[in-house]
Amino acid sequence: MRCLGRITGLGFVFLFIVIFPCSMWTFNTQRIALNSDTYKSLFTDEGFYKDLIPDVLPAFADEIDGDELPPGELLLTPVIDSLDERDWEDIAVALVPAPWLKDEVESNMDAFFGWLERDRDDLVLVFHTQTLRDRLMGPPGDEAIQHIMAALPACDPEEDRQFEEFSRGGDVEFPGCRPQPTELQRDLFGMLMRAKNRIADNLPEEIDVVEEVEIKSAEHSETGERLFTRGDLDQFRSTVLLWRRLLILAFTVPLAMLSMVVITAVRSSKLFFRWVGWPVLLGSLFTLAPLVLLPFILPDLRVESADRVEEGFATGGELLANIIGNGMLRLIIGEFTLPVLQEGAVLIVIGFVFLVLSVLLPDPDAPLEEAPSTVSGVPVYQTPSGQVILAQQVVQPDAPTQFDDVGPSERTPPPAHTPSPERVPPPDHTPSESDWLQGDER
């Protein structure tokens, strides 16, 4: 029966080790990932908006310049790609103000989490681009084109000929540099100005994210490719709401498994600490395992999520991909690391303490000591040092005994005490008559 209980306890231990890491990650996901304040604080502290500014204009330019252009016209995106990354970051700050970008991201984030918590019936995510359009059409846009011209690397003679052919409508690519002849530099400046104005003219004043989802889905409906739809968004919200309602099960189920271990396998306090300590220790180690694998999984996860988001939107898909895939995902995974690490470390310490207690506590199932032996019919005990003690003898710790100088086989109990006889007169004394009389009186 005891063997069956141990086998059953091992089964519940295995279930606990499997379920407990999922419960820990579910709890932290609810607490961190589904809280809008988490993202607001992260985006402000980690410099998220500063890193996102250089991606805003190229994201819109890719969609607007996607159509075929007349020969001799230049796309703005290849020019930006030809610049040094630091140079473009300095230029982009003048075109994309950080306060505008922060207001747009946070307002849409509030709208999303309000819809997710059923505070709003419809999901409305809108980016207002009027500020960006005014910057492009105004003096900041003209100055940005001049800075781009100065930041482009100089062309060599072969690249000058290639650019000249490109400006005349030849079937060659833009060389990605600034030509040396003054006439060709004026041609390049005019191309850049027209590309900038084309983006400002075609950029919508409002970009409705959900509408873009429907447009992109309609474009791919003929090919049978499945993208985001409103139905998918509603299903996502229903799943999250159900997940929140079932949060109580995150720790109830593993606690139930641990309770079943105690019921089926524990028979003493020593076994309690042993059977509870090992599952808690192993379950905590498996909880920390994803933190070791995240550096290897994160790059692929970011690329996959970014591609998925970019394909699902018509205008601004690349911008949303950078916000969600390369921004939010990177920061939120980093935010998970410290809480999970702290909780796992505390539970590992608790499991280790339980195991130490299981070693220190006495085992009630240990075999009993052997019965004492007897010497000449008297019970005798032998101490760990080899000293023999009578059952009724009290030995002082420092007092020598009569058995210290003899071997164990020669140790015998002291002779029994015999009372001394009554004192009699010495033999040379002859009792007198008075003595006899006194004896008779007695």
Residue 201 is predicted with a pLDDT of 87
Over 80: is that where the pLDDT of 325 sits?
A: no
User: What pLDDT band is residue 21 in, cutting at 50, 70 and 90?
Assistant: very high
Q: What is the model's pLDDT at position 105?
A: 83
Q: For residues 220 and 132, give the distance between their C-alpha atoms in angstroms, rounded to a whole number.
A: 30
Q: Confirm if 326 and 306 have CB atoms less than 8 A apart.
A: yes
386 vs 96 pLDDT, higher one: 96
Whether the Cβ atoms of residue 108 and residue 210 lie closer than 8 Å to each other: no
Q: Which of 96, 103, 128 is nearest to 206 (CA)?
A: 128
Give residue-wise pLDDT tens across range 113-168: 888 887 677 788 888 888 888 999 989 999 999 999 999 999 999 999 999 998 88
* Identity of residue 434: S
Across the chain, mean pLDDT equals 76
Over the stretch 29-75, which tens digit does the pLDDT of each residue have?
888 877 777 777 777 766 778 878 888 888 777 767 655 677 778 88
Are the C-beta atoms of residues 166 and 174 closer than 8 Å to each other? yes
Residues 163-179 have a mean pLDDT of 88
Mean pLDDT over 212-220 rounds to 66
- Which segment of 155-159, 200-204, 434-438 scores lowest on mean pLDDT? 434-438
pTM here is: 0.65
